Amino acid sequence: MAQMRTITAFIRPQQCDQVKLVLVQLGIIDITLSDVKGFGRQQGSLQQYRGSDAEIRLHRKLKVEVKVDEEMVAPVVEKITFAARTGQVGDGKIFVSPLQKVVQVRTGEERVELA
């Protein structure tokens, strides 16, 4: 049995359609998307609100999660990187983690993965 991995990508929301397209082209149909806020290297930004400068510390990002067999990790990471890249600071990050256990809520069936 192939090892399963979780790929979690934090990307710019405007890159969502391109990332979804490349994932579907790879045959991945189970995709979880979440709106999240955070910051990394770009830190906060200075914006005007009602005539006053205000530092906004959190930036809107999109969290994309997929579960794939281990042999699909490299192509998925490559395609997400290509589709999400704008060349600017704040393009995001991709994390790959072992998937250790899956429980089907409806049936209670468990699938245990060996990392």
Q: Token digits for 14? A: 């405007």
**Topology of the domain comprising 4-44+57-112:** Alpha-Beta Plaits (3.30.70)
Is pLDDT larger for residue 66 or for residue 37?
66
Rounded to the nearest integer, the mean pLDDT of the chain is: 88
Number of residues that this document lists for the chain: 115
At residue 42, the pLDDT reads 65
Q: Token digits for 77? A: 């990471």
- Using a pLDDT cut of 70, give the percent of the chain over it: 82
CA atoms of 24 and 79, how far apart (whole Å): 11
Position 111 pLDDT exceeds 60: yes
